[in-house]
Structure 1
């Protein structure tokens, strides 16, 4: 009888041990923090301390998008750490407030896609109505991730020469990328976007590149050149920025062993603004060359005009497009 009770007790102890082990594994799994940024957003983190270097918890951190006025509020933890996740790329104004301390304000903080910027703040003792405005500060570095890569902003996209209006021609601005010379006589958007970009990163195959736009995959899975069309290539004026990650990026971006190209398109703001341009390619503008090597495509397929007018006021985009035989009219309006 005693032997039976001993065996039953051993089974019960073993069962209890397995339950505890499983619960421990589950708690360990869910204890890992969720990614603060995604393929279409960035994030901000930092530590808040007082004048003596002691951490300050319970500080209200308000982030304000300077283009749209959108506000996000978080509270710093007891260890002084704060995290503002899933921020759309753009310029932000930050306000740090807590009773017993002067408010601290930082404006013009740039958040980039896929990056987590770090901003440490030191609060001064005083009334919360008093404000300390940070006017100038060294540029924030991306120190929260070992990922290698480079961000190309809107100004670079629209001002650098793009012979076929294709942003993939300037991905080589990031180190570690090799690509062939762009074919200036290619039709449409050229050959740069075909077969996953037609460029190589650290010796990997060009088919291993991964393209995402606003967090959605836009890969050319067939990868058969002009037959499958290549990756999606938006109008350069519609691109806010793009980042090419070339190595050490985390598994959330992983698909293949090549580069990860994350494109973010422009969104609306609270102010009206617009651009007007004309993009014309005509054989009359070419250098004189022999009749035997004249490219007929320059006269018939590459001659076009484009007019873009963008009126922005709010957040929801509406797009209209009209195509004519010799020119293209693209109107992009954003309203409330």
Structure 2
């Protein structure tokens, strides 16, 4: 009897671990590309170095027989991608800005020459996603910190995304309102015509929804701690389960090699309001 009970407990614990992992979403990105020479021929077995500009962390991968290299599971941030095969100049791509849940393509075109010579490539052009059919919108750190927010609640920024419509009349789920916190703050919004409670909000990969109503958030990270968030609204990966409408995937800031910080003063008082013209 005790042995049978022990087996049942183990099954329950394994199931709990499975469902816990299922509720997580990705918080990293991927850098990949193809290494080619001046004539467009692929360069196999080339060592490609990916170095984080903020932390100095480095990862080295090799291109395959087709010249393709892949560096998965990289934290969002700025990177320098470089390679220096024998017989070619060192090619460096700087300021590669990797965002959450992004597959960044960085192709490296080599030039014949000495390894001591360096070719630096820099591009600010917005990349076109060609390896996935998902439709998403990124809300950057600049938008989070500089756009006016009532109550410093980041949820309001999701309304800027195409296809998102807030619920304006209070019903069973309540209307969209971010002035309060906890149960007083509803994030009822319809994405692409889906139900307003069919969305999933995550913070650093963990579900941030009240599972009872699926319409209120559990925590509200300070806008100063938010690095960025992505609104996945169509054709997203199967890893984003539990959502028929959209997945709002937020990541918080990490540290770097430089000391930095921020401060703010938030005050709201009717003493600062303009005088009423009729009084």
- Residue 73, structure 1, aligned to residue 60, structure 2: yes
Question: 2:88: which partner in 1?
Answer: 101
Does residue 207 in structure 1 map to residue 197 in structure 2?
Answer: yes
Aligned partner of 1:238 among 202, 220, 225: 225
Asked whether 1:41 is paired with 2:28, we answer yes
1:89 has 2:76 as partner: yes
TM-score, normalising length from structure 2? 0.82
The answer to whether the aligner puts 1:267 opposite 2:257 as a matched pair is no
Shift of the alpha carbon at 1:212? 1.5
Q: Give the corresponding residue for 2:19.
A: none
Q: CA deviation at 1:134?
A: 1.1
- Asked which structure has the greater CA Rg, the reply is 1
1: distance between equivalents of 2:124 and 2:261? Answer: 31
Q: CA deviation at 1:97?
A: 1.7
2:236 is aligned with 1:249: yes
Shift of the 183–159 alpha-carbon distance from structure 1 to 2, 3 Å rule, reads: same
> What secondary structure does 1:178 align onto?
strand
2:156 to 169, 173, 179: 169
Matches within 5 A, 1:43-58: 43-58=30-45
Q: Distance in 2 between matches of 1:52 and 1:190?
A: 61
Q: Does the 8 A contact of 1:93 with 1:106 survive in 2? A: yes
Unmatched runs of 5 consecutive residues or more in structure 2: 1-24, 169-175
Give the conservation status (yes or no) of the 8 Å contact 2:181–2:220.
no
Report Cα offsets for 1:187-241 as digits up to 9, x if no partner.
44795x53xx21110111121101121112222101276xxx6342200000000
Query: What does residue range 1-336 of structure 1 map to in structure 2 within 5 Å?
Result: 39-136=26-123, 138-180=125-167, 186-188=179-181, 193-194=185-186, 197-223=187-213, 230-286=217-273
Q: Secondary structure at the match of 1:253?
A: coil
Cα drift, residue 287 of structure 1 = 5.2
**Separation in 2, partners of 1:170, 1:138:** 24
- Per-residue deviation, 1:113: 0.5
Cα distance in 2 for residues equivalent to 1:210 and 1:188: 17
> In the TM superposition, what is the alpha-carbon distance from 1:159 to its structure 2 partner?
0.5
Structure 1 pair 183/204, CA: closer, same or farther in 2 (3 Å)?
closer
Contact 1:164 1:189 in 2 (8 A): no
Residues 190 and 271 from structure 1, CA distance in 2 versus in 1: closer, same or farther, beyond 3 angstroms?
farther
Give the match for residue 12 of structure 2.
none
Flag structure 1 segments of 5+ consecutive residues without an equivalent: 1-37, 290-336
State the number of aligned residues: 245
Contact kept in structure 2, 1:211 and 1:231, CA below 8 Å: no
State how far apart, in whole Å, the 2-side matches of 1:130 and 1:80 are. 22
- 1:46: Cα distance to partner? 1.0
Per the TM alignment, residue 110 of structure 1 is displaced from its structure 2 partner at its CA by: 0.5
| CA 1:188–1:260: 2 relative to 1, 3 Å | closer
Separation in structure 2 between the aligned mates of residue 212 and residue 49 of structure 1, nearest angstrom: 39
- What value does the CA root-mean-square deviation take over the aligned residues? 2.1
How far 1:180 sits from its partner (Å)? 4.6
